[in-house]
Amino acid sequence: MINHTILEMRSITKEFPGVKALADVSIEVRAGEIHAICGENGAGKSTLMKVLSGLYPYGEYSGDIIFQGKPVQFRDIRSSEAAGIVIIHQELALIPELSIAENIFLGNEPTRFGAINWDLVNRTALELLARVGLSEDPTTKVKDIGVGKQQLVEIAKALNKSVKLLILDEPTAALNESDSQHLLDLMAGLRSKGITCIMISHKLNEIEQIADSITIIRDGRSIETLHVKDDGVDEDRIIRGMVGRSLESRFPEHTPTIGETFFEVRNWTVGHPSVPDRLVCKNSSFHVRRGEIVGFAGLMGAGRTELARSVFGRSYGTYRSGQIVMDGKEVTLRTVPQAIDAGLAYVTEDRKSLGLNLLDDIKTTTVSANLKKITRGLVVDRDEEFRVAEDYRKSLRTKTPSVNEGVAKLSGGNQQKVVLAKWMFTDPELLILDEPTRGIDVGAKYEIYGIIQKLADQGKGVIVISSELPELLGLSDRIYTIFEGAITGELDRRNANQESLMKLMTASRKSA
């Protein structure tokens, strides 16, 4: 299958005011392969793909793009799509209120006598859905299917445009294990049909599994291209290329000092916010000791976030029953302010829509959960605000020119550091970190792990919720597993491995 070169990008350079995003990047993709592009966040992967898809039109960058042997100059997405290049963005571009078929044909509707030919639309959609292995009625609204299936609809949409080169930007970022696997299988299937794929991903295990070649980009430069079969590539090899050094360990050395139990949740039961009969947490009990990092493992939708948020001032769902006991005394945390006052902190999995006000700058964000502490009389003390933010910037090593910078401009890792600073400033006893390293590159992950461990060493309890089992195994002292809203197991770090966790995460508790 793999033979000639289908795409070549030569010496691509793209500048933004004040930043050189891409400097002399070259990449060569062979027809019929899956070509992965790896690099830390901010390395320039997405920019390169935006250049390729015409989002940054010809003229805004320098360098040549040669597609199917001919130099091309795309003015916009339409012109790149006309050539057979389709990009599927990380944030899906589907319209939730429209049906699957309508979405597939959006902007491309077949008409008969000026009216949309719905028969043809739905019939073709059904064929396309079969090709991507999705058994859904084409008239189902997109909002009614899960993210994994939406991803497949996007691919069906691309197939409808008779795609030759499919670009997938972080296709599995929002998918659970089984959906991810299905998508990867589908990509392999497309490959066998001769469709070339470029895939951007942070999930190195997936890249190792599926990619034929890998181009590594670092700081806006193409570093190297690896051929998976010939070069004997493994995850460590990729990481070495991405960070420019080898990471001996992906987790900092840490010896926990674990104290007594100070936080306990007993028989916690919570109803779904809009479907009262459905329980999102079922009779869950867990505890956290001082200085301990407790992991929560579960598939997406298992109820991990729901459990965390309902404990954090009942900010999710409707409370049914259960107690929270802190330092031996039962406490009632009805609202988020009460939870914060009691010493709880919750770092959300969805940084952009639940964690940050993207209009704010670093310093206002840092103090936003504890304004009282820097308020004298009626006045918020801006000098104090600046000093606090500056202290955290230094101690967490946030990369930014100044704390006056807007949080929207920071990379994921640095945004997460600002969010951590915000919660550290509330001086919590228990930190609940929901997917603390989602969308964060390898180097920054290491630093975040270090911060988490330091917090535990200060005698705080830390709960880490994560979809990445290696992360939980590397970080936690103890791990709970959740399945369908119920806690199905509790494993000590020593007894836990990916298999034992996965078993508990997917099977219901025997007694339940």
Partner 1 sequence: MKSLKHLFGGNTRQFGMIFALVALVVFFQWRTGGKTLTSVNMMNLFNGNSYILILAIGMVLVIIAGHIDLSVGSIAAFVGIVVAIAMRDWGIPWYLGVLLGLVLGMLIGAWQGFWVAYVGIPAFIVTLAGMLLFRGANQRVGNSLTVPVPEGFRYLGAGYLPEIGPTTGYNNLTLLIGFALVAFVVYNEFRGRRRLEKIKAQVPPSWVPVVKVVLLSAVILYATYLFATGRPGTSFPVPGIILGVLVIIYAFVSNKTILGRHVYAVGGNRHAAELSGVKSKRVNFMVMMNMSVLAALAGMIFVGRSTASGPSDGVGWELDAIAAVFIGGAAVTGGVGTVVGSIIGGLVMAVLNNGLQLLGAGADDTQIIKGLVLLVAVAFDVFNKSQGKPSIIGLLTRNLGGGGGTRKTDADAPNPAPTEQAVGTKEVISHDV
Query: Which residues contact partner 1 by CB under 8 A?
Result: 16-19, 21-22, 42-44, 46-47, 220, 312-313, 315, 335-337, 339-340, 346, 348, 353-361, 364, 368-369, 371-372, 375, 378-380, 382-383, 386-387, 402, 404-406, 408-409, 422
Instruction: From residue 37, give the alpha-carbon distance in Å to each of 12, 41, 142, 159, 183.
Output: 15, 12, 29, 22, 17
Alpha-carbon gap, residue 78 to 266, rounded angstroms? 56
Nearest residue (CB) to partner 1, 45 versus 237 = 45
Query: Residue 76 has what DSSP assignment?
Result: S
**Is-contact 481 501, C-beta < 8 A?**
yes
Take residue 28 and report the two structure tokens written for it. Answer: 């060569």
For partner 1, the closer of residues 138 and 313 by Cβ is: 313
Phi, psi of 437 (to 5 degrees): -115, 20
Query: Cβ of residue 511: shortest distance to partner 1, in angstroms?
Result: 34
Which residue from 298, 315, 210 is spatially nearest to 479, judged by alpha carbons?
298
Beta-sheet pairing, 5-16 with 19-30: antiparallel
Closest listed residue to residue 95, CA positions, set 141, 60, 46: 141
Closer residue to partner 1, CB minimum distance, 18 or 114: 18
Smaller CB separation from partner 1, 153 or 432: 432
Q: Burial level of 345, CB count in 10 A (0-12/13-18/19+)?
A: buried
* Amino acid (1-letter code) at residue 465: I
* DSSP 3-state of 489: strand
Give the residue with the Cβ less far from partner 1, 205 or 335.
Answer: 335
Of residues 245 and 382, the one with the C-beta less far from partner 1: 382
DSSP 3-state of 511: coil
Smallest gap from Cβ 350 to partner 1, in A, equals: 9
Q: Residue 124 or 348: which CB sits closer to partner 1?
A: 348
- Min dist. Cβ of residue 33 to partner 1 (A): 25
Least distance in Å: CB of 35 to partner 1?
20
Return the number of the residue (178 or 335) whose C-beta is nearest partner 1: 335
Residue 354 CB, nearest distance to partner 1 (Å)? 5
Q: Residue 439 CB, nearest distance to partner 1 (Å)?
A: 11
Q: What is the rounded CA–CA span in Å between residue 29 and residue 212?
A: 10
Phi, psi of 428 (to 5 degrees): -80, 160
Distance between CA atoms of 486 and 307, rounded to whole angstroms? 9
Dump the DSSP string for 299-311.
-TTSSHHHHHHHH
Min dist. Cβ of residue 241 to partner 1 (A): 18
Q: How far is the CB of 468 from partner 1 (least distance, A)?
A: 22
